[in-house]
Every structure is written in C-alpha cells, then in structure tokens.
A and B are shown apart, each in its own frame.
Chain A
Amino acid sequence: MSEHNEQEEEKNKKPKIYNFLRVLFHPHDFLGILSEDRYKSLKIRIVLIEAMLSLLPLFIVVTISYFWFQQILKDDFKNQLKWELENTKQSIEFFLEERVSILRFITSSYTHEQLSDQRTLSDIFTKFKREFPGLVDIGVIDADGIQRTYSGPYRLAGADYSDQTWFNEIVIRSSNLSDVFMGFRKIPHFAIAVKREVPDKGTFWILRATIDMKTLQKYASAINIRENDDVFIINREGVLQTPSRFHGNVLEQYKEIFSFPEDNLSIKEAGQSEGTCDICGYAPIKNTPWILVAVIRSSPYAKIPNIFRNELFFITIISVFFSIAVTIALVQTVVNRIKKADQAREAAIAETEHAGKMASIGRLAAGVAHEINNPLAIINEKAGLMKDILEGSRDMQQNREKFLSLISGIFDSINRCRTVTHRLLGFSRRMDISHDTIDINDALKEVIEFLEKEIIYRNIRLDLDLKKDLPRVVTDKGQLQQVFLNIINNAIDAVEEGGLIQISSYSKDEHFVRVSIKDNGRGIPRDKLKHIFEPFYTTKEKGKGTGLGLSISYGIVQRLGGSIHVESEVNKGTTFFVDIPILSETV
C-alpha cells in the first residue's frame, strides 16, 4: 500500500516540475494571454533570455578582470612594500654595522689605558658625535662591569652594569646591541657595546656607545607610508623600539598577535577579522633583536585608478547597450516573422475550413433536397388528381370552390418547395461545363443590360471600369453570367436609392481575370460575412430572397476553377471579387 502511495507521489512530482517549466516557458498559457499579447510576451521572454545569455558572461568577465586587476595592484603594492622594507632593513643593518665597526676601530686603535683617560675619550666622543649625529654618549667599562670612563651629557661614570643582561651576554660574545631602553638617561636609546680582549692579561674591557632611538626612527620613517599605515621597529619580545602611530609609544608592548618571522623578510596578508592590518610586512634586522614592522591599513591598491574603472564601466555600458539593441532588433524580426507565418497559416486553415464547410453544406443541401423532392412529387400528383377529380365531377357542389382554392394553396406551396429544391440540386450538381471562349466584358455588359431597367428605376449610378484588351477566357458563359447576375442583383438590393455600384474588370495576374463589383450600400457585419456563401443564409427581408444566390454563385465559380471572395465594411459598402481562370480547368 505504501509503495503504491510512493509511486503515486512520484507520478505527482513529475508533472509539478513539468508544470513549473511550462509556466516558465509558456507564461501566456498560464496567464491566459492570447492573440497579439502572446507575441509581445514571447518577445519579452526571448529578449530576457538572450540578454541574460550575453550579459551574464560579460558581467562575469568584467567582475573577474576588475578583481584580477585589483589583485595585480595588490601584488604590485606588496612587492613595492617588500622592496622598501628590504631597503630600510639594509640601511639600518648598514648603519648598525658601521657603528660597530667604528667602535671596533676605536677599541683596536686605542688601548684601555688611553681610553681610560677622560680627555682622550671626550675627544673621541666629540669627533664621533660630529660625524654621527644621534650618538648620546660613550663609555669604557671594565671586566667587572663598572664604567670607568664616560663621556656624554650625563654623569654616569662609575655606573655598575655587571648585573645587566647585555653585560652578561657580551662576556660571551664580542659585541652586543641592546634593546631600546630608558636606562639612567631617561630618554629612549639603545646601546652598542664592543668587547676588547686583553689576552696577555687574560682580561677584557668594553667600549659602549649609546645612540638615540630617534636615529632608528628616522630610518623607519623613510618608508613611504600613507595616513593609516604604520612603520616601526619592535624587538623579539614584541616591545616597540620606535614610536608608532597606532600601536603605542616606545617600550610599549606591540599588541598584535603574530608569529615572529625567523630570518627572512615576509609580507603577510591578514583577513579583516584577524587583525587591524590588511598587509603586514616583517623584516628582521640581521644581528639585532629588532624587527622592522610595516602595518598597511589604507589599502591603496583598492583604489583602482579611475581611468581603468571608467573604461571598464564605459565598455560594459556600451556592450550592454549594443547587445540589448541587437537582441531586441533580432527578436523583433524573428517574432514578426513567426507572427506573419502564424497569420498565414491561420488564414490558410480558415480557407480550407471554409471550403470544406461549403462542400459539406452543399452535399447536405443536395441530399435534403433530393429526399424532399420525391415526396413533394407525390404530394403534387395527389393534389393534382384531387383537382382533376373535382373539376371533372358534379359532386360536392357546395364545397367545390373551397376545395379548389385549398388545392391551389397546396400547389403554391409545392411550387415554392420546388424552386428551392431545384436550385439546391443545381448548387451541388456536377454539371458538364461548356467551354466558351468569351470576352468577360461582353458577358458583363449583357448582364448589366438585363438589369438596366431596375438600375434606372432605382436611380442607381453605375460606374463601369472595364479594362480593354483583357485576355479572352475559356469558361461557361451562361453560368458565369448567372454569377454576375446574382452579385449585381445583391448590390442593387444593398444600395439606397441613388446609390453607386462600381463594376470593374482587370487582369489579376497571368492566370486570372478579376471582376470586382462594389457597392456603397449598408455593408455586411463581420460576423455575418463568413456565412454569406452558405445556402439559406440571407439578410434580406423574408420572402425576398431564398438565400441561395450566393451559395449557387460560389458553387459555380468553384466549378469553373475560379474563386470568389468578399470584403465589406458596415455603412461603407461591400465589394465582391470574382477571379476567373483564363484557361478553365474543370474541377
């Protein structure tokens, strides 16, 4: 049971999707849009689909190239930053190496004793400072960590460094570069110390110079930065060595969490959520505890040059405009063609339907007429016999006249029926068509002559426009004239007194001669127009027409291999067109 249900559901699912697609692709069915609007909706749909197909890739390409370009700019910017960091790093390294070299030079040029002399040291300090601004002071420290001689703005002679980290370290190494510190001097500075071994005494002494932090800062500031960017130096513990714009002052802790790079310069890109920097550059400075840090937050690369953006925008707009214009033009053409084809097809179908309908109506009429005709003949004979008997005998004297008039009434009705059945049988009968070679104009003129009295009597203007030198046609003259007679008769009935009837003949093409019969009468409403060739269809008042004239004409023209059609406008008039084949092919 459940399986059965599942199958049912499966069945129901499919049509749902199908219906959805149907609605999507045939919204006119869903919305009940018909006729003209159907083509409009088709146009809109095709334009939308086409536009989507052509514009989507365009937008994708534009978007991709936009971001691609942005990426290029970013990479470019990163490279530039790297290069600048590298440069600055090297400058700082060079600067420091130079300082160390000079201190080494001094330690190797002078003995401990010479430098212990305050005057000599002061002299060196003065010269040194002259050459290298930023030098704060200089001092000589002995192996016990006591500063024996000092030259500088502070009174630091005799200061004890033995318990300081740098001193312990320099005992092992030959030179040392300290972190920036405040020290006794209360200004941020760093110290470079160089150890000089005295091998013969088995001892050593140290020349130590302190340099203002500002010197370092000068290097860091050399990097070309923007408003929201920051460049500074930190040590390996993350303590700021130079002041920064946004990350605190000297000796404060750099709060950003990051893993310190080992040796090489590295550029890191952080997501927005991870930190305050978009691009961070870390350049460890060789032989020092320092790292040069660049924090870039202004993202200058994001500002794609206006020219590029404008061009991209311009090209996109032009492409969109063109593709939409071309699509609309194409769709317009295609849909109009479809519309025309549809209309032609509909017209052809209507034509076929009409012809088929006329044929079956003809058959039906003939069948009915035939079936009616035989009993009618019997009634006729019986009534005739009654009349004969009444006339021949002397019986029923008192009712004789009454009966005779009744019988005469029966004859009248039989005659009316006979007219109808005979004409109907004529409508459908297969006739042997005579082949007369005739001049259409002559045939027309004869018909008009026949109707002249009526035309003059009703004061109708007759306008003849018969082309001369029309090809002679091979057709059945009598029947053709019957057709003209019917149509012109109708025209006469249709116009008011003093109306106008225009009859013209001309070559329609190389196969047909056309006769048009136009009146300015009351016209035929659209809904009635399609019925006028049907038998018994009449708009004339009762008793005036049988409703067979046009249906018979239709049958005749059909048999002659021609065609008949009508155009009419209410209150303006009606025009009948009869196309007669020049060489009749009997149908």
Chain B
Amino acid sequence: MPQTKVLLVDDEIEFASALAERLQLRNYDVKVGHTAIEAMGFIHQFVPDVVVLDLKIPGMDGLEALKTIKKLDPTIEVIMLTGHGDVLSVEEGMKSGAFEYIMKPIDIGELTSKIDKAKKKRINV
C-alpha cells in the first residue's frame, strides 16, 4: 500500500511542522502549507489523499478553501481542524463536504485513525 499523502494546512508554523514530523514518523507522506494559496499550489503538484485544514488560515477563509478543494477534486477528503468553538463553521464545513472535524489540541491517534478512514473512503470511491 502506498503512503497516504497528507496535506497539512495551518498558519501556526510550529504546530504544523511538529505535527507534520509526527505524521511522517507514522509513515505518512506529509506536505505543509501555511496559507491558502500555498495549499492550492500543492493540490495540483502533490495531489494529496487527505487535507487536514485549519479553519482559520490567512489568505482565504478555511471554509472557502474547503469548497475550492472540493471543487478542484471532489475525491480529496478534508479533515477540518478547529481551535475554537465555532460549531457553526464546523457544521457548514461538514455540509460542504468535509469528511471529519477535529479540535485542537489533537490526539495523534485520533487524527491518524481519521486520516486512514478518509483514505479508505477515497480508495473506495
């Protein structure tokens, strides 16, 4: 089974780099984008299986980024990251086609299991 390609989008560099490294240790192919534009670039080049997307990123609203990704490639699954209790955005995100959401600070096991589920779903599609 090939490595699952994960695109991590978060403007907190420290957070994103540490999380990326942890995922890599768990045998994921991880790329990190700090802005929405950066992330959009990776969609074409990197073609991730799963995008872990923070809902508050500079450049573009997280929700918009989600919608754009889904438009570009509906098979890419998106897991939303939220640092605050904005349940409305989460719900809207879910409606817009996000696969899951997870609240910061995250439990690495929870995240990986969700990524794996998303990957499985993508393969099945």
> B-contacting residues of A (Cβ < 8 Å)?
366, 369-370, 373-374, 376-382, 384-385, 388-389, 392, 414, 417-418, 422, 425-426, 428-432
Contacts and interface: CB of A to CB of B under 8 A. Distances in A.
Nearest to B11: A374
B15 A374 contact: yes
Interface stretch (B17-25, B43-51, B57-65, B67-75): B17-25
B19 to A, nearest CB: 5
21 contacts: A373-B105, A374-B12, A374-B104, A377-B12, A377-B15, A377-B83, A377-B105, A378-B15, A380-B105, A381-B15, A381-B18, A382-B18, A384-B19, A388-B26, A422-B85, A429-B85, A429-B87, A430-B87, A430-B88, A431-B87, A432-B88
Nearest to B26: A388
What 4 pairs across the A-B complex have the smallest Cβ distances?
Answer: A425-B85, A380-B105, A429-B85, A381-B18
A426 B86 CA distance: 9
Contact of B84 (A370, A378, A385, A431): A370
B84 A418 contact: no
A139 B85 CA distance: 148
Contacts of A379: 105
B38 interface: no
Contact of A432 (B26, B91, B104, B108): B91
A384 B18 contact: yes
Given A374-B12, A381-B14, A381-B105, 5 more contacts: A374-B15, A374-B83, A382-B18, A422-B103, A430-B88
Nearest to A388: B25
Interface residues of B, number: 21
- A contact face: mostly helix, strand, loop, or mixed: helix
A384 B85 CA distance: 23
A385 B88 CA distance: 31
A388 B83 CA distance: 23
Contacts of B108: 384
Contacts of A428: 85
A107 to B, nearest CB: 146
A381 B19 contact: yes
A382 B14 CA distance: 8
Interface of B: 12, 14-15, 18-19, 21-22, 25-26, 83-88, 91, 103-106, 108
Nearest to B15: A378
A385 B18 contact: yes
A434 to B, nearest CB: 11
B118 to A, nearest CB: 20
Contacts of A377: 12, 15, 83, 104-106
A388 B85 CA distance: 29
A373 to B, nearest CB: 5
A539 to B, nearest CB: 26
A389 B25 contact: yes
A389 B24 CA distance: 11
A388 B15 CA distance: 15
A388 B19 CA distance: 11
Contacts of B19: 381, 384
B7 to A, nearest CB: 17
Contacts of B87: 429-432
A565 B83 CA distance: 32
A377 B102 CA distance: 12
B109 to A, nearest CB: 10
A417 B85 CA distance: 15
A323 B26 CA distance: 96
Contacts of A392: 25
User: Among B88, B105, B106, which residue has the most Cβ atoms of chain A within 10 A?
Assistant: B105
A392 B62 CA distance: 34
B25 A370 contact: no
A369 B12 CA distance: 17
Contacts of B84: 366, 369-370, 373, 425, 429
A389 to B, nearest CB: 7
Given A377-B12, A377-B15, A366 B104 contact: no
A378 B14 contact: yes
A381 B83 contact: no
A417 B103 CA distance: 13
A377 B105 CA distance: 4
Q: Which of A417, A426, A432 has the most CB of B within 10 A?
A: A432
Nearest to B85: A425
Contacts of A422: 85, 103
B22 A376 contact: no
Contacts of B15: 374, 377-378, 381
A381 B85 contact: no
Contacts of A369: 84-85
Nearest to A428: B85
A381 B103 contact: no
Contacts of A370: 83-84
A388 B87 CA distance: 31
A455 to B, nearest CB: 32
Contacts of B105: 373, 376-377, 379-381, 414, 417-418
A325 to B, nearest CB: 66
Contacts of A426: 85
A388 B112 CA distance: 14
A378 B12 contact: yes
Contacts of B91: 432
Contacts of A432: 87-88, 91
A188 to B, nearest CB: 131
Nearest to B108: A384
Nearest to A391: B25
Contacts of B25: 385, 388-389, 392
A418 B83 CA distance: 11
A370 B82 CA distance: 10
Nearest to A430: B88
A426 B21 CA distance: 31
A392 B86 CA distance: 36
A366 B87 CA distance: 13
A389 B25 CA distance: 8
Nearest to A417: B105
